[in-house]
Structure 1
């Protein structure tokens, strides 16, 4: 605030008794943070947060369990191929859990 604002304020004695005015530091990124806080209060944000949690868990599984923390194939096509294979494996695992299990096959 400015000195003229503080001079007429009834709370000046409590707010800044030893100085002429009060200076509050505000980051240059604070406007962006305000926008993010506003967005975080919307119902759409809650939906996207739940969806993001599911996706992040899949990526964590890829990295930790399937050891996909480092790509082995070179280039964009190699990375695409490697992720496609990993996603296929994840989908097959998911399908195996969803399919009913019949009696074991004996030969």
Structure 2
């Protein structure tokens, strides 16, 4: 007997790895091999204020701009949408699934 469609209940925990879902031959992986932005925060620390609203992470900003340049995304709003939707872009920008753009 066919009953009414059951509403799916959201899982409490998910086991998901962006690392596993980005193909090894993806362009973002090739670029990531040559991009080392680990010291960028230290170089730019003097330009950021300690008061007011928190600023955008400079590494995230540069990584997002690289995505935009490589894939021809000219609009910052469109870039934010693409990084929000594309798992490879999220991986390259060092964002988790739950991180806000």
Report the TM-score when normalising by structure 2: 0.27
Higher relative contact order (CA 8 A, sep 6+): 2
The structure whose residues are more often helix, as a share, is 1
Q: Which has the higher Rg, Structure 1 or Structure 2?
A: 1
